[in-house]
Amino acid sequence: MSKNEREAACGRREREAWEGFRTRLADAAGFKEAAELAADAPPPDAPGRRFYSNLTFFLQSFIVPGGSSREERGLYLALVQRMDAAGQLRRGVGARVAAELQRSIADATT
């Protein structure tokens, strides 16, 4: 297999991992489901591992992960809004985190 073929296969596996992760996070009703998704992380160096690492960091601190994409941040924003609507966050936390995510999405280049 040539270098170009290996790179294409790696990119394909990364996109497939993203699609599975994205779908599950978009479907997560709240913190519990998001934490279960984060716990299903693939091993280190596996395609998509960074998405799970970013989610784990976000769920621990509600701080925007530096390496996250604009689309990931949009998923976190929707999750926070669902969690806030379900009463899973203390008063004011959802609005604060949502505002920070919105700022980071506006500032993101990817």
pLDDT tens digit at each of 110 positions of the chain:
788 888 888 889 999 999 999 999 999 999 999 999 999 999 999 999 999 999 999 999 999 999 999 999 999 999 999 999 999 999 999 999 999 999 999 987 65
Helices (H), the chain: 3-27, 31-39, 49-61, 70-85, 93-107
- pLDDT of res. 108: 77
Distance of CA 57 to the CA centre of its chain: 9
Instruction: Tell me the two tokens of residue 34.
Output: 């998001």
Q: How far apart are the first and last CA of the chain?
A: 30
- pLDDT of res. 49: 96
- pLDDT of res. 6: 83
- pLDDT of res. 94: 96
- pLDDT of res. 60: 97
Torsions phi, psi for 24 (to 5 deg): -65, -40
How far, in Å, CA of 28 to CA of 13, rounded? 23
HSE-CB of 95 using CA atoms within 13 angstroms = 3
How far, in Å, CA of 23 to CA of 38, rounded? 13
